[in-house]
Amino acid sequence: MTTRFAIAARAALLASSLLILGTTAAHARDAAALRDQALTGDTVAWDLVEGLTTEVGPRPAASEAEARARDWSAAKLKALGFANVRIETYTMPAWVRGEEKASVIAPFVQPLVVAALGNSGATPEDGITAEIVFFPTFADLQKAPAGSLKGKIAFVTHAMKPTQDGSGYGAFGLARFQGPGVAAEKGALAILIKSIGTDNHRMPHTGTIGWPKGVTPIPAGALSVPDADNLERMVKRGKPVSIHLILTPKRLENQPGGNVIAEVPGSDPKAGIILLAAHLDSWDLGTGAIDDGAGVAIISAAAQRFLGTEKPRHTIRLLLAGAEEVGGNGSDAYHAAHKGEKHALVMESDFGADRIWRIDTKGYEKDQATRTALAAALAPLGVVPGSNPASGGADVEKFVEDGVPVIDLQQDGTRYFDLHHTADDTLDKIDLAQLRQNVASWVAVLGVVADAP
């Protein structure tokens, strides 16, 4: 504990000295006013996420609803005064949910709440019936002998708990990312996982599967957490447990997808673009409020505050990417089309709408002045400097790989995985005060970096 306290004390000292430094720079003073206006009275972000969830709703990748969301967003961004608003299209396969039903048929009889995982294979229309093989963890599934799941349904649980930084997702999410592929390779007829989530509602968490090359997708579903726990109780009574499962999703080739782009034009064409990314697509079960209507709203509202001021040195560009949820076809298309343009900085908002609690950076290791100014601008919002390098997110990762500097404004993820990829991802889960603190944090960062040399 001593070491931790020493680090915290050093950080506090640093922050207080930085605050003085930050308030002496001319552009930081402007940004402080913009930041504080956003914190107390921003209406742009709420109006955007309220509108997107009410007037469009769910917007699965490459669907007709995602196309409506592009038109809707482009019209809103134009009305807000953004320049160079445009839709850039591409084609991609779409995965479309079908019927989904699961029920235990022995030794007890009762229905289970299930949702197909993205890119799941399909059962016949009248379903399959098979005995389950229970794995308490993904590691246990990995250890199953080759061929041992032939004719069976694998059932994998986990013990994911909420964490502020969301690190539980990477660790426990393997049951979803890789579990179906591993089960298929071992001969399983299908796989059911306990939802990768931290709630106790009858809300399955969907999400995409990464199938290994050459593996034919099997039906793969998520049970809600209470259903998985109930099934586990049945298993522990010691008799074979059999399930009837219907999942009939479809894959459609060559569907239209696209990104929405908008800009706050900069004064120096050679300065490079500051790219702010969020994604416009959502899963089909909810209305995509926290994932990622909030991100769309936060970056748009923050950038919009710079439209009414003197031109920033850098162009601030919004990327509302398509198809993030199913593999990033939108951000790949953006990178392919725009990697030749100079990008000075990339940032992404895609972790809900709860408060920013930490800032991480990468590419500013030798630029103490900027790190100092960032910490100072964010300190009034309760944001602390982190000690990990920023990594960006799915929609900017190719630029991060290219070596472009990146700043992460880390959102509080404590309740994020209660809602993530469920029907419960709806507007009412967004807290206005925390949404505004997000906008204010982005404004604070832009205030430091938008005019930087």
Positions in the binding site for a second copy (CB under 8 A): 50, 53-58, 65, 68, 108-111, 113, 200-203, 225-226, 229-230, 233-234, 237, 286-287, 422-424, 426-429
Q: Between residues 167 and 200, which has the closer beta carbon with respect to a second copy?
A: 200
Which of 324, 325, 348, 397 does the annotation list as catalytic? 324
d(CA 190, CA 221): 8
CB of 252 to a second copy, least distance (A): 19
Dihedral over Cα of 336, 337, 339, 345: its sign: negative
Q: Between residues 350 and 425, which has the closer beta carbon with respect to a second copy?
A: 425
Q: Between residues 140 and 431, which has the closer beta carbon with respect to a second copy?
A: 431
Pairs from 399-405 (Cβ < 8 Å, separation ≥ 24): 399/275, 399/335, 399/339, 399/343, 399/346, 400/346, 400/362, 402/339, 402/343, 403/363, 404/343, 404/344, 404/345, 404/346, 404/363, 405/344, 405/345, 405/346, 405/361, 405/362, 405/363, 405/364
Q: Between residues 113 and 297, which has the closer beta carbon with respect to a second copy?
A: 113
Tell me if 179 sits within 8 A of 141, measured CB to CB.
yes
Here the tokens at position 411 are 């959102």
CB of 433 to a second copy, least distance (A): 17
CB of 55 to a second copy, least distance (A): 5
CB of 57 to a second copy, least distance (A): 3
Active site residue 365: no
CB of 69 to a second copy, least distance (A): 11
CA dihedral 423, 428, 430, 433 (to 10 degrees): -170
Contact partners, residue 297, CB within 8 Å, separation at least 6: 44, 45, 46, 48, 49, 52, 353, 435
Active-site annotation, residues = 324
